[in-house]
Amino acid sequence: MAFRWTNDLTRADVTPERLFLNRRQILGGLAAGGIAGGLGLRAEAQEALEPNTWEEITSYNNYYEFGTGKDDPARYADSLVTSPWSVTIDGLVDRPGDYGFAQIMEAMTVEERIYRFRCVEAWSMVVPWNGFELADLLEMAGVQTGARYVAFQTANRPDQMPGLARPVLDWPYVEGLRLDEALHPLTLMATGIYDRPIPNQNGAPLRLVVPWKYGFKSIKSIVRITLTEDEPPTSWNKANAREYGFYSNVNPEVDHPRWSQATERRIGGGLFARRQPTLMFNGYDEVAGLYEGMDLTENF
């Protein structure tokens, strides 16, 4: 590869683990207090920041394949069988096939990447991921000359994922990147968080992390990667193209139709901390060259 990514963040920047895993409960408490919508601060909402037990932390998450209730993933995600696990890599590759998770891990060099994480809902955090560059996995399969995009698919197991019975999205969950985005050294295939395997409800055993894009682009529990010439469909774009574009780059100048993206609230900064300005590309200026000459207002 042309260069390896170097980190500008340290462990001191990391969102505390209890806050990372419990972020949706915190945001729920803020919304209940009228804070998330920019209303007056309520002191009683501060209790949402008190440390939770492990049971509380892991019982509040968002993974629609297990249901839309925030405690549904923890209630049902244990039913997801993650071992053995394989990823089908096909399309415009030299060596298509089913790659076992153990086979992949044996061939890859896992490292820690401390990344900013920005949600389309206008909150942010810093997360220490463990994983390897997606480019290394694609090299393992051999990318053919005609490939221009990379498509991803989440596991689709109705017997293990009760949320699939509801038409919340057009299942299975799918995402996509342009090939040059996928090959960028920042693009990570994550296998762990805080030096521990990713819990089922957070996307075990293998998920994508693209730190300059909104979080929903970081597809969970990947079972298929397809190299293609044409731009692939993506789940949230199919559900509402007006609100969720294919690129979904973090951009303070392009608002979500229902809220501003100019600022964000850092999880772990305290309930009374001021909102901070959103950074273009979430602060990862090294990807700007990927979009040279593009209208990022139109290609949001």
Residue 154 in marked binding region: yes
Residues in CB range of 92: below 8 A, 6 or more apart:
143, 144, 146, 147, 227, 228, 229
How much is the average pLDDT of 232-256? 97
| 252 occurs within a structural domain | yes
The verdict on residue 3 lying in a domain is: no
Q: Inform me whether the pLDDT recorded for 165 exceeds 50.
A: yes
62 is in an annotated binding site: no
Residue 216 domain-assigned (yes or no): yes
| Percent of the chain scoring above 70 in pLDDT | 77
Q: Cβ(148)–Cβ(229) under 8 Å?
A: yes
Give the pTM: 0.82
Least confident of 50-54, 74-78, 102-106, 139-143: 50-54
Asked if the model's pLDDT at residue 13 lies above 80, the reply is no
Confirm or deny that 178 is annotated as ligand binding.
no
Is residue 105 domain-resident? Answer: yes
Q: Is 99 among the domain residues?
A: yes
The answer on pLDDT for 18 being more than 60 is no
CB under 8 A, 24+ apart: contacts of 9-17? 9/114, 9/115, 9/116, 9/126, 10/114, 11/114, 11/128, 13/114, 13/126, 14/114, 14/126, 14/127, 14/128, 15/117, 15/125, 15/126, 15/127, 15/266, 15/267, 15/268, 16/268, 17/194
The reply to whether 198 sits in an annotated binding site is no
As a whole number of angstroms, the distance between CA 223 and CA 153 comes to: 6
Domain assignment of residue 203, yes or no: yes
The answer to the question of whether 83 is labelled as a binding residue is no
The residue range of the domain holding 246 is 83-289
Q: Is 41 inside a domain boundary? A: no
Q: Is 253 part of any known ligand binding site?
A: no
| 191 domain residue, yes or no | yes
149 is in an annotated binding site: no
Q: What is the CATH number of the domain that holds 278?
A: 3.90.420.10
Largest Cα–Cα separation, the chain: 59
64 annotated binding-site participant = yes
pLDDT of residue 271: 62
The answer on whether 219 is annotated among ligand-binding residues is: yes
Number of domains in the chain: 1
